Structure 1
Amino acid sequence: MSVYYDLYTSGNPQKHEEQQPLYARVIPSGTIDSKKFIEMVSKANGFSQATIEGCLQAITNELQHWLSQGWTVEVGELGHFSLSLKCERPVMEKKEIRSPSIHLNKVNLRINKKFRESLEPLQLERMESPYRSNNNLNEDECRTQLIQHINEQGCITRSDFMRLTGISRNKAIELLKEYQEEGIIRRYGGGKTVVYLKA
Structure 2
Amino acid sequence: MSAYYDLYETPSPKGREGKKSLHARVCPIKTYTQDEFIKHVAAFQLLPKNQIAGALTAIIDDLCDLLADGYTVEMGDLGFFSTSLKCLQETDDENDKIRAESVTFQNVHLRVSSKFRKRIKHAMKFERVHSLTRKQKKITSTVEERKKRLVSFLKIDICITRKEYIRLTGLTPYEAMKELNDFISQGVLRRRGAGRSVVYVAGENLKVE
Compute the TM-score of the two structures, normalised by the length of structure 2: 0.55
- The CA deviation at 1:97 is 4.3
Structure 2 distance, partners of 1:29, 1:90, is 43
The alignment status of 1:30 with 2:21, answered yes or no, reads: no
Write out aligned runs for 1:178-197 (5 A): none
Write out aligned runs for 1:16-95 (5 A): 18=17, 21-88=21-88, 90-94=90-94, 95=96
Given the superposition, is the C-alpha separation of residues 106 and 9 from structure 1 closer, same or farther in structure 2, using an over 3 Å criterion? farther
Deviations 1:177-198 (A, max 9, x none): xxxxxxxxxxxxxxxxxxxxxx
Could you list the structure 1 runs, at least 4 aligned residues long, displaced by more than 4 angstroms after superposition.
none
Structure 2 distance, partners of 1:123, 1:39, is 23
Alpha-carbon RMSD across the aligned residues, in angstroms, is: 2.5
Aligned to 1:112: 113
Given the superposition, is the C-alpha separation of residues 133 and 16 from structure 1 closer, same or farther in structure 2, using an over 3 Å criterion? farther
- The CA deviation at 1:96 is 7.2
Aligned to 1:127: 129
Q: What SS is found at the alignment partner of 1:29?
A: coil
Given the superposition, is the C-alpha separation of residues 84 and 6 from structure 1 closer, same or farther in structure 2, using an over 3 Å criterion? same
**Matched residue type, 1:110:** R
Aligned to 1:174: none
- The CA deviation at 1:21 is 4.0
Given the superposition, is the C-alpha separation of residues 124 and 91 from structure 1 closer, same or farther in structure 2, using an over 3 Å criterion? farther
Structure 1 distance, partners of 2:92, 2:134, is 43
Structure 2 distance, partners of 1:107, 1:133, is 33
**Matched residue type, 2:127:** E
Structure 2 distance, partners of 1:16, 1:26, is 29
Q: Count residues in correspondence.
A: 133
Unaligned runs of 5+ in 2: 137-209
Structure 1 distance, partners of 2:129, 2:104, is 40
Q: What SS is found at the alignment partner of 2:24?
A: strand
Matched residues, percent identical?
A: 38
**Structure possessing the higher radius of gyration over alpha carbons:** 2
